[in-house]
């Protein structure tokens, strides 16, 4: 048995415990704030194989990552992805990994909710911006609401705890704020609102992609419910409140604010094996070359340490001026949300 290696600590003394891994850049939806309709996807050979993904995640876990979130693109459209989840279960069983989770658009959950639970997944995030079928079709372009609702139902039946992620879009789902909140309460699901981020070229979609400040959204909730701030911190950009009337937890993800960078414990890897140590910065390092150069985990671990050594202090998104500053060119589906 090897000794446990020194944990990953970045230059600002933050321990890296949370890894988000994108397993594909492809998706069966084309959400207007995320992708253009005619996205060009990466050639398959650029992607890490499932075996390489396993080696990469395993190295991070050996170096102290305790929480692994699988994302994309749509992670559940990657062929044979359940093999990867089943492989990660060994780290849950050994206790080195504390949580294995996934962010999904829900389209494949009818099929995969049971297998995810069997692989040790207990909580999932499902992205859903509206409960109106026509609006759902408009915002996702290719998605269909009933399929996603059936998926959510299947997840709950399988024993998965579901959190709904909703991108706050002015003029789009403002009028559904209370409906979405109540629907989540009725179905015992937490709900997190996400501020729309300036990522990637998404064409001419301003009409549906209006920025709705979560400060304003929260004020609207406060007009109807009693909110209690919760001390809970995820090491990320989420803040939580409890709605006293329903007991449910509501999260607010404001990636544009700087108030979380000092406690940031996470890094992201793309489906091609690049590591981004800050969602809001373009700086990244390549882990695919060391991964492919040698089967020896120490080669990869050295590259991971080097990359963590470059983690910046924080990001530069700024909506406070007229233009969107600090914009990053890549799409959310590239780095994973």
CB closer to ligand SF4 out of 26 and 311: 26
| Rg of the chain (C-alpha set) | 19
- Interface with ligand SF4, residue 165, by CB under 6 A: no
Is 119 one of the binding residues for ligand SAM (CB under 6 A)? no
Binds ligand SAM by CB under 6 A, chosen from 81, 88, 197, 217:
197
Contacting ligand SAM (CB under 6 A), which of 21, 145, 194, 243?
194
Report the SS3 class of residue 328.
strand
- In the complex, least distance from residue 224 CB atom to ligand SF4, rounded to whole angstroms: 28
Q: Which residues contact 94 (CB under 8 A, 6 or more apart)?
A: none
Question: Cβ(69)–Cβ(75) under 8 Å?
Answer: no
| Residue 119: C-alpha distances to residues 47, 71, 72, 87 (Å) | 23, 16, 19, 8
Task: Count the site residues for ligand SAM by CB under 6 A.
Answer: 20
Residue 74 contacts ligand SAM per CB under 6 A = yes
- Name which of 199 and 308 has its Cβ closer to ligand SAM: 199
Taking CB under 6 A as the criterion, the residue among 14, 17, 30, 284 binding ligand SF4 is 30
**Given 24, 32, 72, 139, the residue binding ligand SAM (CB under 6 A):** 72
| Least separation in angstroms between CB 23 and ligand SF4 | 11
Which pair of structure tokens corresponds to residue 153? 């139902």
Residues numbered 49 to 108 that lie near ligand SF4 (CB under 6 A) are: 72-74, 105
Task: Give exposure, 242-278, as e/b (b: 16+ Cβ within 10 Å).
Answer: bbeeeebbbbbbbbbbbebbeebbbbbbbbbbbbbbb
**Considering CB distances under 5 to 8 angstroms, the limit depending on partner class, which of ligand SF4, ligand SAM, none binds residue 265?**
none
**Site string (94-113) toward ligand SAM, x via CB under 6 A:** ---------xxx--------
Report the nearest approach of ligand SAM to the CB of residue 5 (Å).
30
Per-residue contact flags (x/-) with ligand SF4 for residues 318 to 337, judged by CB under 6 A: ---------------x----
Q: Are 312 and 278 in contact (CB under 8 A)?
A: yes
State the minimum distance, in angstroms, from the CB of residue 214 to ligand SAM: 11
**E strand spans, 63-221:** 67-71, 99-104, 123-127, 161-170, 190-195, 210-211
Structure tokens at 166: 């909703």
> In Å, what is the CA distance from 155 to each residue of 29, 164, 236?
19, 12, 25
How many Å apart are CA 209 and CA 278, to the nearest integer?
A: 23
> How many other C-beta atoms are found inside a 10 Å radius of the C-beta of residue 229?
9
Provide the binding-site residues for ligand SAM, judged by CB under 6 A: 27, 33-34, 71-72, 74, 103-105, 127, 165, 167, 194, 196-197, 199, 332-333, 336-337
């Amino acid at each position: 048995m090897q000794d446990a290696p020194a944990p990953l600590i970045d230059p600002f003394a933050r321990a890296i415990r949370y890894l988000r891994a994108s397993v594909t850049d492809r998706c069966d939806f084309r959400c207007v704030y995320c992708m253009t309709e005619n996205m060009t996807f990466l050639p398959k050979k650029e992607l890490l194989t499932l075996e390489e993904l396993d080696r990469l995640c395993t190295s991070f876990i050996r170096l102290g990552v305790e929480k692994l979130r699988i994302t994309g693109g749509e992670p559940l459209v990657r062929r044979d992805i359940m093999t990867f989840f089943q492989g990660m279960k060994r780290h849950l069983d050994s206790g080195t990994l504390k949580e294995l989770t996934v962010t999904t658009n829900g389209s494949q959950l009818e099929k995969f909710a049971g297998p995810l639970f069997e692989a040790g997944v207990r909580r999932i995030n499902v992205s859903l911006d509206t409960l109106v079928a026509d609006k759902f079709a408009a915002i996702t372009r290719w998605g269909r609401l009933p399929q996603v609702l059936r998926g959510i139902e299947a997840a709950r039946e399988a024993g998965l705890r579901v959190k709904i992620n909703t991108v706050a879009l002015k003029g789009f789902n403002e009028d559904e704020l209370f409906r979405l909140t109540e629907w989540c309460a009725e179905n015992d699901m937490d709900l997190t609102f996400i501020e729309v981020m300036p990522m990637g070229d998404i064409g001419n979609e301003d009409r549906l992609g209006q920025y709705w400040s979560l400060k304003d959204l929260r004020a609207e909730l406060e007009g109807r419910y009693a909110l209690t701030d919760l001390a809970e911190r995820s090491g990320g950009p989420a803040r939580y409140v409890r709605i006293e009337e329903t007991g449910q937890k509501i999260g607010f993800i404001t990636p544009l604010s700087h108030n979380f960078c000092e406690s940031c414990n996470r890094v992201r890897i793309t489906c091609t094996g690049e590591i981004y140590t800050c969602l809001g910065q373009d700086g990244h390092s390549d882990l695919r070359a060391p991964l492919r150069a040698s089967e020896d985990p120490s080669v990869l671990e050295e590259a991971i340490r080097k990359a963590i050594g470059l983690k910046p202090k924080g990001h530069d998104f700024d909506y406070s001026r007229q233009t969107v500053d600090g914009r990053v060119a890549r799409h959310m589906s590239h780095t994973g949300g």
